[in-house]
Amino acid sequence: MNSKRLMIGAAFAAAVAISLTACAGGSSTPSSTAETSAKTATSAADLGGMDALVSAANAEGQLNVITLPPSWANYGAIIDGFEKKYPSIKINSANPDGSSADEVSAAKAQKGQSTAPDVFDIGTAVLQQNLDLVAPYKVANWADLPADYKDASGKWYYDYTGLMSIGYDSKVITNPPTSMKDLLGSAYNGKVAIKGDPTQANEAASAVYLAALQSGGSADNIQPGIDFFHSLKQAGNFLAVTPTQATVASGETPVVIQWSYNNLAWGAAGGTSGNPDYKTVVLPGTALGSYYNQAINVDAPHPAAARLWEEYIYSPEVQNLYLASGAYPATLAAMQSAGTVDKTVLATVGEPPASFVQLTADQATAAAALLKSGWATAIG
């Protein structure tokens, strides 16, 4: 009897039919000429100026952003500001707590669909592996970005950096930490958390890099950082839970090593959802920063809105919003010389350090290899 074969055949036919309809669905983009040119435009001028870009974006009416938590680098205010400024464009914010790798998978998995991300805010290591996913574009104030902060062809450009810092609940930790060594003390038993698994999340890996810089290592040799966390684990001080704004507010994670803009946002600046006793320390000695990159998805379902978003991000008002969260925007130097920087905000956040270490792509690869082989055993 062929019934079994028939059933499997029917099943596969149905599977194919379903997947085909899924692919055909929902490309809601209007097919005007502005549309096709927005896809390839490498600057607003290509489209006939800012006004033309705005009207093309308004015609699209949507913008998909991904992995932007509202409490991260002021993205809540930045997204609200965009919707206020361009009321006819609706922002869909997907997977706020995802990683850079999640952004890439979303772009690949949803390619050709209206739900695919339009723009990325992405870590350097993942970006360098996926340069075929991004479209070149240069914002109007391209010259404000230092030469080594951007790709010459406009495929990616730095947006902001924080400094690795220690956030602590001053109710629990009465003496502010002055060095990484302090964290090994008994006052910190079971209290020190990082933002996930360093072999997985860039921010967690950066905590290890900071520990390396502070304990005699360097960007070329992060082994001392892994050793530090091994001692932390041995002392019983390492807390293996992913901290969030909520765990800091409830006191579940009293000490968190993470980017300064996140530590600041979870403290008094967080208002009702923050923890008023939560303070941030950037340790003396070598500081560690790491710029994230802005880039446009080459298959963006809303190409004009994506480009408008980048123009918006690099406008001084939004660069100041980054600054207000404790993140140093990429155009800060140009803004300081042009006088467009919000001076009161800069005074609160503090001048950017004259120099901080940022791992190059090669150093990050070498560091990742060390983490891959040594991290799990260090905290195992």
Partner 1 sequence: MVTSTVVAPVTPADQTRGAEVSTPRRRAVTWLGLVPFGVYVVLFLAVPAVLAIASGFFDGSGAFTLANFAAYTNPTILQNFFASIWISALTAALGAVFGAIICFALLGTRPDRMLRSAVDSASSVLAQFGGVMLAFAFIATIGAQGVLTKWLVSIGFTANVFNNFNGSGPLLYQIPGLVIPYLYFQIPLMVLTFMPAMEGLKSTWAEANATLGGTRFTYWTRIGMPILAPAFFGSLILLFANAFSSYATAAALISQGGIVPLAIRQQLTSETIVGVANVAGVLALGMVVVMIVLMTAYSALQRRASRWRR
List CB contacts of 152: < 8 A, sequence separation 6 or more. Answer: none
Does position 376 bind partner 1 by CB under 8 A?
yes
Q: Which of 53, 63, 68, 101 binds partner 1 (CB under 8 A)?
A: 101
Q: Pick between residue 195 and residue 302 the one whose CB is nearest to partner 1.
A: 195
Q: For residue 70, what are its two tokens?
A: 């509202």
Segment near partner 1 (CB under 8 A); pick from 1-9, 255-263, 296-304, 307-315: 1-9
Does position 26 bind partner 1 by CB under 8 A?
no
Task: Give bridge partners of residue 218 from the DSSP assignment.
Answer: 221
Q: Pick between residue 237 and residue 260 the one whose CB is nearest to partner 1.
A: 237
Q: Pick between residue 94 and residue 140 the one whose CB is nearest to partner 1.
A: 94
Report in angstroms how near the CB of residue 310 gets to partner 1 at its nearest.
22
Report in angstroms how near the CB of residue 339 gets to partner 1 at its nearest.
37
Task: Give bridge partners of residue 120 from the DSSP assignment.
Answer: 295
Residues 245-274 touching partner 1, rule: CB under 8 A, are 250-253
Nearest CA to 167 among 210, 230, 213?
Answer: 210
User: Site mask, partner 1, residues 129-158, x = CB under 8 A?
Assistant: x-----------------------------
Calpha distance 340→335 (Å, rounded): 5
Does position 171 bind partner 1 by CB under 8 A?
no
User: What's the per-residue H, E or C state across 44-60?
Assistant: HHHHCCHHHHHHHHHHH
Question: Kindly report the CA angle at 204 between 200 and 208, in degrees rounded to 5?
Answer: 115
* Residues that contact partner 1, how many (by CB under 8 A): 59
Q: For residue 161, what are its two tokens?
A: 């950096």
Does position 20 bind partner 1 by CB under 8 A?
no
Q: Pick between residue 18 and residue 143 the one whose CB is nearest to partner 1.
A: 18
Q: Pick between residue 257 and residue 321 the one whose CB is nearest to partner 1.
A: 257
Q: Pick between residue 174 and residue 377 the one whose CB is nearest to partner 1.
A: 377
Query: Are the beta carbons of 301 and 110 closer than 8 angstroms?
Result: no
Helix residue ranges, H only, the chain: 3-24, 33-40, 50-60, 75-85, 100-109, 124-129, 202-214, 223-234, 245-250, 260-266, 303-313, 316-324, 332-338, 343-349, 361-378
Residue type, 137: Y
Report CA Rg, the chain.
23
Question: Kindly report the CA angle at 276 between 274 and 282, in degrees rounded to 5?
Answer: 90
Does position 368 bind partner 1 by CB under 8 A?
yes
Segment near partner 1 (CB under 8 A); pick from 40-48, 92-100, 148-156, 256-264: 92-100
Q: Pick between residue 209 and residue 312 the one whose CB is nearest to partner 1.
A: 209
Q: Which of 204, 296, 304, 321 binds partner 1 (CB under 8 A)?
A: 204
- What's CA 230's distance to the chain center, in Å? 27
Report in angstroms how near the CB of residue 295 gets to partner 1 at its nearest.
14
Q: Which residues bind partner 1 (CB under 8 A)?
A: 1, 3-4, 6-8, 10-12, 14-15, 18, 98-102, 105, 123, 125-126, 129, 189-191, 193-202, 204-205, 233, 236-242, 250-253, 364, 367-369, 371-372, 376-377, 379-380
